[in-house]
Chain A
């Protein structure tokens, strides 16, 4: 077992952003407002936690009282019931499926910035009270009373209203999507020799109950689909993937989106036969609109999470209200993009998220807060308190991080580069929060020679330093794209779904980890 495995089971701080699967830079896919409405998954229809979790207000009250029995400042309970289903196609047949059911409650007790945490998967009074007493041990003082009455917080937005919840979708409705994509991928290019598909969906309900008597419910759908191809040509093989994801229902899989998946997955695979690893060393890099938003996630987003700043360990800890980029650079972390993978109606502490400006006209404006850091900095929580499941305490985490459009044009940016690379498709990234060094891995791109895209490139890690690279973002185009891929952000052994986006940008100079310097 490696350290990461152990950490994955939930221990000490390891700050890394492991982005999930592959994704793309297709057209902006921001679902229109309103949506079909009235579906079974809308927050308008109450979760009915009494039935779903088998718990009562009395039980919640007694658990919170036990949680505060040693004088914690605050306590919350996070109930979660989540049913995830996945189906996979391999060698032409949808021949395996997976289902995971999670049901449990996490009990958190906060004393200043100290946290006590425990969870139980048995929702009985005995088990919940025992978990609460364990979490209570973080404090050491006289008992405080729990809430005497509760109020359901109703004023939450509806950012993912579905035609039907995934609990109402039958396997037979999903199978034709996978079979159709498989056939289309093979048909589109004779070099394709293997196709695998993975479809997943999630029906998840959460209930936050806190020591202020607040009850907040949400139903959180999620779906993703990955198409992965192997192609063979003259005895050589290449492989690539295209994935889409969102907090959406079956209607997400429109014919246009499915066509695009095949086109992108096959195109991105077969072009690799012509591609090489680029030369090594520092050079200008143009990032294509869309999934290149990984730059923002790694170079700035993690460093702006308030826990790292509260502890003084982030490279941005002393940069608040200071200029860190050209004035045309504006970066947001946004929980409000409808149907986006990184959208949330409420965060996992029950706070309604907003659109948070991280960088405004080149100036660093705010950190990303959960309730502990918000109290520390005496500001309102930004709705960034997120957790993977009831097995984990919440942490400040990103949602959908992107850069707003700038003054330049894409073609103008490419034409401005004499010798460099253009990156369009990425698989993962990582950052060292304190040193600021970060990487992202390029699956597809092109060399730029004399202002033109020439030879395809592949498989190269780009490495830079967050603040230094942001200063070097010297051109930003007007073509913002929020990526439709299924990114997962890892921190402290917890994965949460996120989105990202960016317009076409130029970084004047950054280290390209290629070959043959």
Chain B
């Protein structure tokens, strides 16, 4: 089997057939292939060019009531045959698990026929010169904002990828997808008067080249962000209102989504266990999972198990509406599977942009980035490093760093008092600016 010469669907079908021949009762196979090219540019010249072409096979094996998941990039025919035989032998050594079966075929039904527009033909035609030019223009734009000679170094990058996959399950599922992505970033390092060398960046990700932020805007924003960090200080410890900008807010939201997985619920590792149908946030916490967004970074017609993708309400007016339940934990929990993971988030947006929200906030802190920290998924307690700006009189004031926020999520989301109109386009979470009241900051 070679994925370079064979079509992916045939490769997946023959892997399933081989697994059954070697003793698996059921199997599903995913065959994937991707190509990614990237250029990195630093301080006026090319620093790195890389190209990655990868292909691989993942197999889920169900053998006499036992289960294993295996994957390999070694697709030489003899190696693959031995790999599958060995994997089946290993599976036989495990304990039986009555919950481990392929998804019920009815979960495969009703797949949308919509064209998600995930593949940009432009990707194939991009040249090395175009990639380098984008990276060079990013640097020029970043440096253009520096009137004081504070910028030490600028590293920019441009990358694009094409990925395709095909999945086949022995109980009737077949499906594939193809998609492109483009990525551009600028990292800018500046020298502060106290010897610190703060670094900031900006980036853009899109399915279509034309949707990338243009190099001039992106580079300038990265430069401005880095210069904005100069002279940052550690403020005093206090309880203050907190605005979190749309780019940073995904970090907070991911702390909320992890404990919504079926595994977290069944394994009693979730502070959201038992909270379905209950109010866990303010009225403004309203979002759903929307798999069918055209050109969406997380868009899909079926999930990782082949379950048909459908819109899923997550929070409505602060009330928890769904968990992310795959077929295995669905059986263990005696709950109907939804999907094992999020696709694209869709927020109920507010009417104001960030400047207006800050004007309303008056005194507080705008968080533009998180540094380390963690959240305890069982209790909801969290503690996160932050950087950003003090907001005074409704306007951005001095930059702050080396500070921390802490609290409990069940309390934090009830303190959500405003949602912006500015969903972040470079992430499938598409978070808007979020504003919370009464957050504990630690500093001096």
Contacts and interface: CB of A to CB of B under 8 A. Distances in A.
Q: Verify that A and B bind, or say they do not.
A: yes
Most buried by A among B192, B267, B269: B267
A423 to B, nearest CB: 13
B63 to A, nearest CB: 11
B196 A315 contact: yes
Interface stretch (A39-47, A90-98, A200-208, A249-257): A90-98
Contact of B50 (A10, A87, A96): A10
A438 B42 CA distance: 25
A5 to B, nearest CB: 9
Interface in A185-240: 193-194, 196, 230, 232, 236-239
A458 B378 CA distance: 13
B90 A121 contact: no
Interface in A421-452: 427-441
B269 A437 contact: no
A6 interface: yes
Contacts of B53: 118-121, 131
Contact of B181 (A6, A237, A460): A6
Contact of B376 (A459, A464, A516): A459
Interface in B136-184: 152-153, 155-157, 159, 161, 181, 183
Contacts of A458: 376, 381
A374 B139 CA distance: 27
Contacts of A122: 2, 4, 75
Interface stretch (B21-29, B349-357, B366-374, B415-423): B366-374
Nearest to B375: A459
Interface stretch (A275-283, A359-367, A401-409, A478-486): A275-283
Given A13-B187, A93-B97, A513-B383, A312 B443 contact: no
Interface string B365-398: 0000001111011110111110100000000000
Interface string A131-148: 100110110000000000
Interface in A275-298: 277, 280-282
Most buried by A among B43, B156, B197: B197
A391 B382 CA distance: 35
A283 to B, nearest CB: 10
B76 interface: yes
Nearest to B369: A432
B385 A437 contact: yes
B237 interface: yes
A11 B237 contact: no
B183 A11 contact: yes
A172 interface: yes
Contact of B374 (A1, A90, A441): A441
Interface in A65-107: 81, 85, 87, 90-91, 93-104
A3 B2 CA distance: 31
A12 interface: yes
A233 to B, nearest CB: 12
Interface string B82-95: 01001100110111
A459 B198 CA distance: 27
A511 interface: yes
A78 B268 CA distance: 44
A32 interface: no
Interface stretch (A108-116, A377-385, A412-420): A108-116
A358 interface: no
A514 interface: yes
Given A238-B378, A461-B383, A314 B234 contact: no
Nearest to A466: B196
A115 B43 CA distance: 15
B116 interface: no
A237 B237 contact: no
A101 B203 CA distance: 33
A101 B73 contact: yes
Given A3-B205, A9-B161, A515 B440 contact: yes
Judged by DSSP, the binding face of B is strand
A230 B264 CA distance: 11
Given A12-B185, A277-B383, A439-B371, A90 B49 contact: no
A514 B70 contact: no
Given A2-B250, A312-B189, A461-B373, A237 B378 contact: yes
B371 A437 contact: yes
A12 B187 CA distance: 9
Nearest to B54: A121
Contacts of B187: 12-13
Interface string A284-324: 00000000000000000000000000011111011000000
Contacts of B238: 517
B47 to A, nearest CB: 6
Contacts of B443: 281-282, 511
Interface residues of B, number: 106
B444 interface: yes
Contacts of B441: 280
A441 B372 contact: yes
Contacts of A311: 42-43, 153, 155, 189
A433 B373 contact: no
A515 B402 CA distance: 16
Contacts of A175: 93-94
B153 A100 contact: no
Contacts of B43: 311
A151 interface: no
A2 B428 contact: yes
A248 interface: no
Contacts of A232: 268
Contacts of B48: 114-117, 138, 393
A162 B94 CA distance: 25
A227 to B, nearest CB: 14
Nearest to B50: A117
A6 B48 CA distance: 17
A13 B155 contact: yes
B406 A277 contact: yes
A116 B49 CA distance: 5
A351 interface: no
A11 B46 contact: no
A148 to B, nearest CB: 28
B442 A281 contact: yes
Contacts of B234: 511
B68 A3 contact: no
A85 B86 CA distance: 12
A319 to B, nearest CB: 9
A239 B387 CA distance: 29
A306 B326 CA distance: 45
A95 B197 contact: no
B371 A103 contact: no
A114 B45 contact: yes
B35 to A, nearest CB: 11
B407 interface: yes
Contact of B69 (A98, A317, A391, A517): A98
A400 interface: no
A512 interface: yes
Given A277-B406, A432-B198, A435-B197, A170 B269 contact: no
A436 B156 CA distance: 21
5 contacts: A101-B70, A313-B197, A391-B52, A429-B372, A460-B406
Interface of B: 2, 4, 36, 38, 40, 42-43, 45-56, 66-76, 79, 83, 86-87, 90-91, 93-97, 100, 128, 152-153, 155-157, 159, 161, 181, 183, 185, 187, 189, 192, 195-199, 203, 205, 229, 232, 234, 237-239, 250, 267-269, 297-298, 332, 371-374, 376-379, 381-385, 387, 401-407, 426-429, 440-444
Given A97-B68, A435-B401, 5 more contacts: A138-B49, A280-B404, A311-B153, A439-B371, A517-B237
Interface of A: 1-3, 6, 9-13, 15, 54, 81, 85, 87, 90-91, 93-104, 113-122, 131, 134-135, 137-138, 170-172, 175, 193-194, 196, 230, 232, 236-239, 277, 280-282, 311-315, 317-318, 391, 393, 427-441, 458-461, 463-465, 511-517
